[in-house]
Amino acid sequence: MNCKLTIQESDARIPQSKIAGVYDLNAPVYDIWGTLTESNARQRAIDLAGITDGLNILEVAVGTGLAFHEIVKRNPNGSNTGIDLSEGMLSRARKRLQGVGMANYTLSIASALDLPVKSSSVDILFNNYMFDLMTPENIDRALEEFKRVLKLGGRLVLVNMTKGEKHGSCIYERIYRMFPALMGGCRGVVLSGSLELQGFTVVSREYYQQMLFPSEVVMATKAA
Ligand SMILES: C[S@@+](CC[C@H](N)C(=O)[O-])C[C@H]1O[C@@H](n2cnc3c(N)ncnc32)[C@H](O)[C@@H]1O
């Protein structure tokens, strides 16, 4: 059963200027949420990306490193860059990566809207649960940046909170309506249309639901 409540994509309630503060506060408990409701989709994205060792990989909005530590393990001789707006989230990612015991990565503060990365240099760009908290204008701006930094034929692998397609998923839209900060500012989005408009080729879109929480896993490539 589809979710009948539909929050519009224009309804992003936490401005980018407040995101770092919100996630600094959420950081101590984020992994509980991120594991219980998002781990299946996040793992699928990593598997789908087809990482082979030696690539130049960028993860934007790396958070506490739930995906990044797995990416670094699969790309030990490549280059792995993680960026995020929140120092609270990044400091947890740094602790998590100490356990991996490799030095071929960097973690730093930067914005998806202005990536400190050379044009046409990235083989795979990961981005999990970020577009669902952005305005349509910032979604387009971040996608332009993603397209700029990816190599031709490079892969973009995204996970977003999406619109519910199965029974029970509406509960998260209800919570967002009342307490957007409790949802980290995230509401359901469907990104394939924006990707195509920006000139990406969408290769696949899969729907996942975990603890009733609806996610999409999207794989796209940068076309000529
Ligand atoms: C819901 S969390 C997801 C964290 C991580 N990707 C994961 O899946 O566990 C959203 C993250 O996006 C980051 N974020 C939001 N807007 C951003 C931007 N413009 N540039 C970089 N990071 C951003 C937040 O700081 C936060 O860490």
Q: What are phi and psi of 172, to 5 degrees?
A: -75, -30
**Protein residue with least CA distance to atom 10, ligand 1:** 130
Q: What is the pLDDT of residue 7?
A: 58
Q: From CA 205, how far away is CA 224, in angstroms rounded? A: 21
CA of 165 to the centre of ligand 1 (A): 24
Q: How confident is the model at residue 174 (pLDDT cuts 50, 70, 90)?
A: confident
Concatenated DSSP letters of 141-197: HHHHHHHHHEEEEEEEEEEEE----STTTHHHHHHHHH-GGGGTT------HHHHHH
| CA 20 to chain CA centroid, nearest Å | 15
| Spatial contact of 218 and 204, defined as CB atoms under 8 Å apart | yes
pLDDT at 5 over 60: no
Q: Domain map of the chain by residue range?
A: 16-222
**Protein residue with least CA distance to atom 13, ligand 1:** 61
Q: What is the pLDDT of residue 3?
A: 57
CA of 133 to the centre of ligand 1 (A): 9
Concatenated DSSP letters of 11-60: ---S-HHHHHHHHHHHHHHHHHHHHHTTHHHHHHHHHHHT--TT-EEEEE
SS3 of 3, please?
coil
Q: How confident is the model at residue 224 (pLDDT cuts 50, 70, 90)?
A: confident
CA of 179 to the centre of ligand 1 (A): 18
Q: What are phi and psi of 38, to 5 degrees?
A: -125, -5
Encoding tokens for residue 51?
Answer: 């990482």
Atom of ligand 1 nearest to the CA of 64: 9
Higher pLDDT among residues 172 and 48, named by residue: 48
Give the CATH superfamily of 16-222. Vaccinia Virus protein VP39 (3.40.50.150)
Q: What is the pLDDT of residues 50-105, one digit of tens each?
A: 999 999 999 999 999 999 999 999 999 999 999 999 999 999 999 999 988 877 99
For β-strands 56-60 and 79-84, DSSP reports them as: parallel
Cβ of residue 183 lying under 6 Å from some atom of ligand 1:
no
Mutating to test ligand 1, I would choose from 13, 22, 23, 30 the residue with most ligand atoms within 8 A of its C-beta, which is 23
Sign of CA dihedral 90, 94, 96, 100: positive
Q: What is the pLDDT of residue 2?
A: 55
Percentage of the chain surpassing pLDDT 90? Answer: 78
pLDDT at 13 over 90: no
Mutating to test ligand 1, I would choose from 33, 85, 126, 218 the residue with most ligand atoms within 8 A of its C-beta, which is 85
The candidate with the shortest Cα–Cα distance to 89, out of 119, 113, 68, 115, is 68
Q: From CA 65, how far away is CA 55, in angstroms rounded? A: 18
Q: What region, left, alpha or beta, does residue 35 occupy, with left being phi > 0 and alpha being psi -120 to 50 degrees?
A: alpha
**Mean pLDDT for the chain overall:** 92
Largest CA distance in the chain: 47
